[in-house]
Amino acid sequence: MTITTTAPTVSAAGISAPTYADVLDYLQTQYRAIYGADIYLGADSQDGQFLAILAKAIDDANAVAIQVYNSFSPATAVGAALSSNVKINGIKRDVASYSTVDLTITGQAGTTIANGVAIDIAKNRWSLPASVTIPSGGSITVTATSQTPGAVQAAAGTVITIGTPTLGWQSVTNPTAAAPGAPVETDTQLRARQAVSTALPSQTVLDGIIGAIASLAGVTRYAAFENAAGTTDANGIPAHSISLVVEGGDVTSIAQEIALKKTPGTGTYGTTAQAVTDAYGNSTTINFYRPTDVPITIDVSLQSLSGYSGTIGDEVIAALVAHINALPIGAKVMLSRLYLPANLNGSADSASFEVTSLTIARDGGTPAAADLTLAFNEVATCNTSLVTLTVA
């Protein structure tokens, strides 16, 4: 393509720049206009190599200019530029986090637990908030944080040991599984959260609640449901109520955001109950769900071809596990969509095998070639031990 300038241009469609080949052709044309059309500028000539160096320098400068231009938008910025952009929405990139778990603390009313610690059956230690006071009802739900960073696992009912004996503190348990910690938030994840955060000042109350929950530290997945009808809906949500399903995050912070954003008189529904006191001293119990983990069993059969190895089989298992664990809360596990990760998303290694059979099951059932339906407050989970790989 013939160009008239080597510089980037900005139009209604955004920024664009000529290609390296176009820049080199432009320089060669101008060079011949000075020294004559018969001058030799091949790649094996000194003049040709010199012009190629100039063209590469211009092309590199253009690429940087495009990156700078794109860094001003959350949709195209990367790295530090994206971290800076999202501040305008009142959010920031999540750093590497610790696993959290909701604990039900039981004991004598009025007992204050200072810097308490609970221990699970795997000897992992979970730190309670700095100060926890057991109310008149004799129990309270708090969110404890793992003392070890990363994805520390704790199944429901496994955090049962009091690590710091305190007079009046009688028992501890976790009614739901721990929400595993996460690494530093990726650009893709931050962009998605930034898009949701713009709902904070929205005109729809439910959108505002979702935006507030999404902005809380430690929240990894969430879903919101509203029943505006006068009767209980198909999910069991009572009339004129909302129900949020939140993975990760502090139970108190979640309840406070729901109480702050919901309209007066709107009921909340869920198995996690947390008392919230407003600015006038009125106490309200906010209910929401922690997602129920549903283990997904996968049986996959491969026909090995030239170049197949056990390492490729491990890649298939890892891809299937990653796909299941990335599904949203309440999402159906669709069998047809598992064939893409099972085939390694069409990567070079996918040519070394054929997927001959793929079946799935939930809750330890018998795998079958059928989709799996989850309840609105359930989330699919998987690990390598739940995937059976057969290679012929």
List the chain pLDDT tens, one digit each, 392 residues: 788 899 999 988 889 999 999 999 999 999 999 999 999 999 999 999 999 999 999 999 999 999 999 888 888 888 888 888 888 877 778 777 789 999 999 999 999 999 999 999 999 999 999 999 999 999 999 999 999 888 888 989 999 999 999 999 999 999 988 988 877 788 888 888 888 777 666 567 888 899 889 888 888 899 999 999 999 999 999 999 999 999 999 999 999 999 999 988 899 999 999 999 888 888 899 999 999 999 999 999 999 999 999 999 999 999 999 999 999 999 999 999 999 999 998 888 889 999 999 999 999 999 999 999 999 999 999 999 999 999 98
Q: State the pLDDT at residue 88.
A: 81
Q: pTM score > 0.75 for this model?
A: no
Cα separation, 315 vs 352, in Å, equals 12
Chain centroid to CA 219: how far?
A: 9
Instruction: Evaluate whether 132 touches 105 at the Cβ level (below 8 Å).
Output: yes
Strand 221-227 and strand 241-247: the pairing is antiparallel
Which pLDDT score is estimated for 181?
A: 83
**DSSP letter (8 states) at residue 356:** E
Q: What dihedral angle (degrees, nearest 10) is formed by the CA atoms of 258, 262, 265, 269?
A: -40
Cβ 371 vs Cβ 334: under 8 Å: yes
pLDDT of residue 188: 85
Contacts of 45 (CB under 8 A, 6+ apart): none
pLDDT of residue 151: 82
Listing DSSP states for 59-94 in one string gives: HHHHHHHHHHHHTTSTTT--HHHHHHHGGGGT----
Query: What pLDDT is stored for residue 202 in this prediction?
Result: 59
**Pairing label, strands 131-133, 241-247:** unpaired
* pLDDT score at 19: 93
What is the structure's pLDDT at 200? Answer: 60
